[in-house]
């Protein structure tokens, strides 16, 4: 394989379309986010929904989103309650509850993954993580009702980016296995733009490049830095069957998604 992501999803994956979403499918993400927020006082932002999926029950969830941690009103301060909060977060796929994170922390974690390559059947630890999360069932239902096992050995550039967010607890990085849906979520939540900022999620179109639309996106990675010469340094999964550092021309980039990083 070359350094560009080669589509390997077949069948129902080939027919993924934003037009397949029904109100019922979208409601799944909101319901799951509300359950977690009600249980542990966390505010989740879910790519399954059209807009900002801040759980509004309990009422203090919005305040949690702003503070980037656990609400003192919704979660007791004793150690037992803190442990439950962490356990609930892990059950959703987070290594740690959502928190204030600087771009450098995510970039450092991404750099540690460089060189990790596909194993038997095209599998990686990023596939295994994604399939293990409740979110995998939700995106599978949203995109056609297929089995989560269909994610195994499939394109994994977006699973890699999602894994980085879950491991570090970045707020509003979004989780998905489908680049078009992920980019659409960034745009609909007003986190989309054309500036190559460190830690931004960068979306590529190998055909039309910067002239392409979100629906044309083929690949995704993480921005390390803008080189200032028309190129961007990135770290990407599913590139030459592995996680690799790349230097990409801005003419290949459709746009960027911006997580809510700490200043």
- Identify the bridge partners of residue 239 per DSSP, sorted by sequence position: 242
Q: In angstroms, rounded to a whole number, what is the distance separating the alpha carbons of residues 53 and 29?
A: 8
pLDDT at 28 over 90: no
pLDDT at 3 over 90: no
Q: Three-state DSSP class for 213?
A: coil
Task: Give the domains, in start order, of the chain with CATH numbers.
Answer: 11-257 (3.90.1720)
Of 78-87, 171-180, 213-222, the range with the lowest mean pLDDT is 78-87
pLDDT at 170 over 80: yes
Q: In angstroms, rounded to a whole number, what is the distance separating the alpha carbons of residues 239 and 191?
A: 25
Q: In angstroms, rounded to a whole number, what is the distance separating the alpha carbons of residues 8 and 6?
A: 6
Between the CA of residue 246 and those of 55, 95, 104, 224, 240, what are the distances in Å? Answer: 37, 27, 17, 10, 11
User: For all residues of the chain together, what is the average pLDDT?
Assistant: 77
Of 32-36, 54-58, 64-68, 115-119, the range with the lowest mean pLDDT is 54-58
Q: Can the peptide bond before residue 252 be classed as cis, meaning omega within 30 degrees of 0?
A: no
Query: Between 26 and 138, whose confidence is greater?
Result: 138
Q: In angstroms, rounded to a whole number, what is the distance separating the alpha carbons of residues 56 and 64?
A: 11
The proportion of the chain whose per-residue pLDDT surpasses 90, expressed as a percent, equals 65
Q: Indicate yes or no: pTM above 0.85.
A: no
pLDDT attached to residue 9: 38
pLDDT attached to residue 263: 86
Query: Tokens for 100?
Result: 């204030």
pLDDT attached to residue 48: 53
Q: Are the C-beta atoms of 97 and 86 separated by less than 8 Å?
A: yes
Exposed / middle / buried, residue 94 (Cβ in 10 Å: 0-12, 13-18, 19+): buried
Query: Between 262 and 43, whose confidence is greater?
Result: 262
Q: In angstroms, rounded to a whole number, what is the distance separating the alpha carbons of residues 258 and 261?
A: 8
pLDDT at 101 over 60: yes
pLDDT attached to residue 110: 98
């Amino acid at each position: 394989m070359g350094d560009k992501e080669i589509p390997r999803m077949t069948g129902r994956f080939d027919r993924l379309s934003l037009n397949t979403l029904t109100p019922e499918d979208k409601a799944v993400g909101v319901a799951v986010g509300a359950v977690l927020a009600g249980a542990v006082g966390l505010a989740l932002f879910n790519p399954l929904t059209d807009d900002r999926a801040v759980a509004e029950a309990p009422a203090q969830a919005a305040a949690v989103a702003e503070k980037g941690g656990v609400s003192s009103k919704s979660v007791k301060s004793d150690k037992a309650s803190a442990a439950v909060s962490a356990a609930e977060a892990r059950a959703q796929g987070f290594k740690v509850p959502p928190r204030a994170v600087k771009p450098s922390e995510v970039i450092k974690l991404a750099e540690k993954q460089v060189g990790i390559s596909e194993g038997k059947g095209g599998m990686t630890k990023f596939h295994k993580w994604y399939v293990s999360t409740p979110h995998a069932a939700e995106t599978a239902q949203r995109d056609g009702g297929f089995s989560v096992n269909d994610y195994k050995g499939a394109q994994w550039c977006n699973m890699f980016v999602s894994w980085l967010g879950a491991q570090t607890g970045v707020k509003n990085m979004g989780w998905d296995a489908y680049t078009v849906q992920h980019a659409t979520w960034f745009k609909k939540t007003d986190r989309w733009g054309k500036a190559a900022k460190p830690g931004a999620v960068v979306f590529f179109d190998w055909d039309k490049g910067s002239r392409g639309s979100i629906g044309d996106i083929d690949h995704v990675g993480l921005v390390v830095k803008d080189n200032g010469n028309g190129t961007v340094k990135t770290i990407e999964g599913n590139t030459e069957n592995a996680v690799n550092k790349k230097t990409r021309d801005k003419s290949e980039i459709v746009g960027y998604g911006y997580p809510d990083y700490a200043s």
